[in-house]
Structure 1
Amino acid sequence: MKFMKIGSRPDTFFTVDATRSITLDVPSDLTIQVNNTKYLLHKFLLLPKCGLLQQLCDSNGSDVQTIDLHEVPAGEEGFELCVKFCYGISINLSATNIVKALCASHFLKMTEAVEKGNFISKLELFFASFILQAWKDPIVTLQSTVTLPTWSENLGMTGRCIDAVATKILADLSTVTWSYTYTRPGFNEKAHKRAPRDWWTEDIADLDVPLFQRVLSMVRSSIPAPLVGEALHVYACRHLPDEAAIESSSSESVVKQREVLEFIVSQIPTPKGSVSTGFLLRLLRQASRLGVSDWAISEIMKRAGRQLKEASLVDLLKLRGSSPSSSAFSEINLVKTMLEHFLVDYRRPSLPETGMTREENGKSDQSLVKVGKLIDSYLVEVAKDANLPVSKLIDLAETLPEEARPVHDDLYRIIDSYLKKHPDISKSQKKRLCRMLDCRKLSIDACMHAVQNERLPLRTVVQVLFLEHVSAAMSISQNVELRHDIKAMLPQMSEDTHRKTPLAPEGKDLVSDKVMTKQSDGRKLAEMSISRESYSRDKRAPHGTAKPTIKEVMEVGKAMEVTEEIDSKSKIRPKGADHVSSRAVTSEIMEEADPKNKVKPTGMPPISHRTTKMGSKLPVQRGS
Structure 2
Amino acid sequence: MRLKMMSCREVEEEYPSHDSVLGGKPNRCVIYPPDPAIVAEQLERRNNNWFVRAKVASDLVVQVGDFRFHLHKLAMVSKSGYLNRLVFAKRSESHGASSLKLLLDDLPGGIKTFESVVNFCYGFNVDVTATTIAPLHCAANFLEMSDDLHHGNLIPKAEAFLSFAIFSSWKDTFKVLKSCESVSPWAKELRIVKRCSDAIAWKASTVPKAFTPGGENSNGNSNVGDSTNTWWFQDISTLRIDHFIQVIESIKRRGTKPELIGLCIAHWMAKWFPRKTFVFDELVVPKHLAQKLQRITVESLINMLPREKNSVSCNFLLCLLKLGLTTKIDLALSDKLETRVASMLEQCSVQDLLVKNNEDGDDTTHDVGIVIRVVQAYVVLSMKNSGARLCNVGRLIDGYLAMVARELNLAVDNFKSLLDALPKNARSSDNSLYRAIDMYLKAHPSLTEEERASVCTAMEYHRLSEDARQHAMRNDRLPLKIVTEFMLLEQVMMARSMLVTRSNINLRTTTRTMLKVNNNKVLERGFATSQNEIKMIRREVENMKMQLNQLQMCKLKLEKQVKSSCFK
Tell me the residue number matched to 1:241. Answer: 274
Residue 377 in structure 1 maps to residue 407 in structure 2: no
Where does 1:239-388 land on structure 2 (aligned, <5 Å)?
239-242=272-275, 250-308=287-345, 310-312=348-350, 315-316=353-354, 318-319=356-357, 322=359, 333-346=369-382, 349=385, 367-377=392-402, 380-381=405-406, 388=412
1:371 Cα deviation (Å)?
Answer: 1.7
Residues 329, 388 of structure 1: 8 Å contact kept: no
Matches of 2:276 and 2:494 in 1, distance apart? 50
Tell me the residue number matched to 2:486. Answer: 460
Residue 4 in structure 1 maps to residue 4 in structure 2: no
Q: Which amino acid aligns with 1:258?
A: R
Go from structure 1 to structure 2 and tell me whether the alpha carbon gap of 1:51 and 1:419 turns closer, same or farther (over 3 Å shift).
closer
1:236 Cα deviation (Å)?
Answer: 0.8
Matches of 2:109 and 2:147 in 1, distance apart? 22
Matches of 1:68 and 1:134 in 2, distance apart? 39
Q: Quick one: which of 126, 135, 141 aligns to 1:100?
A: 135
Tell me the residue number matched to 1:18. Answer: 48
Tell me the residue number matched to 1:196. Answer: 228
Q: Which amino acid aligns with 2:412?
A: L
Q: Which amino acid aligns with 2:239?
A: L
Go from structure 1 to structure 2 and tell me whether the alpha carbon gap of 1:279 and 1:4 turns closer, same or farther (over 3 Å shift).
same
Matches of 2:99 and 2:286 in 1, distance apart? 50
Go from structure 1 to structure 2 and tell me whether the alpha carbon gap of 1:34 and 1:202 turns closer, same or farther (over 3 Å shift).
same
Q: Quick one: which of 409, 413, 427 aligns to 1:405?
A: 427
Tell me the residue number matched to 1:65. Answer: 99
Tell me the residue number matched to 2:418. Answer: 396
Matches of 1:448 and 1:280 in 2, distance apart? 41
Normalised by the length of structure 2, the TM-score is 0.70
Matches of 2:228 and 2:114 in 1, distance apart? 43
Matches of 2:211 and 2:289 in 1, distance apart? 39
1:79 Cα deviation (Å)?
Answer: 1.9
Q: Which amino acid aligns with 1:199?
A: W
1:294 Cα deviation (Å)?
Answer: 3.7
Residues 2, 131 of structure 1: 8 Å contact kept: no
Tell me the residue number matched to 2:69. Answer: 39
Matches of 1:282 and 1:230 in 2, distance apart? 14
Q: CA RMSD in A?
A: 4.7
Matches of 2:135 and 2:355 in 1, distance apart? 50
Residue 157 in structure 1 maps to residue 179 in structure 2: no
Matches of 2:135 and 2:40 in 1, distance apart? 21
Give the number of equivalent residue pairs. 489
More helix by share: 2
Residues 136, 180 of structure 1: 8 Å contact kept: no
Indicate the SS of the match to 2:543: coil
Residues 380, 413 of structure 1: 8 Å contact kept: no
Unaligned runs of 5+ in 1: 351-357, 474-481, 484-520, 531-553, 560-581, 594-608, 619-624
Indicate the SS of the match to 1:173: coil
Go from structure 1 to structure 2 and tell me whether the alpha carbon gap of 1:439 and 1:240 turns closer, same or farther (over 3 Å shift).
same
Unaligned runs of 5+ in 2: 1-25, 34-38, 280-284, 528-535, 548-568
Tell me the residue number matched to 2:543. Answer: 615
Go from structure 1 to structure 2 and tell me whether the alpha carbon gap of 1:63 and 1:401 turns closer, same or farther (over 3 Å shift).
closer
Matches of 2:309 and 2:382 in 1, distance apart? 13
1:314 Cα deviation (Å)?
Answer: 9.0
Residues 219, 233 of structure 2: 8 Å contact kept: no
The answer to which structure, 1 or 2, has the higher relative contact order (CA under 8 A, 6+ apart) is 2
Q: Quick one: which of 196, 201, 204 aligns to 1:166?
A: 201
Residue 49 in structure 1 maps to residue 76 in structure 2: no
1:346 Cα deviation (Å)?
Answer: 4.9
Residues 366, 404 of structure 2: 8 Å contact kept: no
Tell me the residue number matched to 1:231. Answer: 264
Normalised by the length of structure 1, the TM-score is 0.64
Go from structure 1 to structure 2 and tell me whether the alpha carbon gap of 1:461 and 1:272 turns closer, same or farther (over 3 Å shift).
farther
Tell me the residue number matched to 2:553. Answer: none
Structure 1 stretch 445-454 or stretch 430-439: which is displaced more?
430-439
1:291 Cα deviation (Å)?
Answer: 4.1
Deviations 1:363-402 (A, max 9, x none): 65762343242254257446x669625xx65543233233
Residues 130, 165 of structure 2: 8 Å contact kept: no
Matches of 2:506 and 2:373 in 1, distance apart? 47
Matches of 2:120 and 2:506 in 1, distance apart? 109
Q: Quick one: which of 178, 185, 200 aligns to 2:221?
A: 185
Go from structure 1 to structure 2 and tell me whether the alpha carbon gap of 1:75 and 1:419 turns closer, same or farther (over 3 Å shift).
closer
Indicate the SS of the match to 2:172: helix
Indicate the SS of the match to 2:145: coil
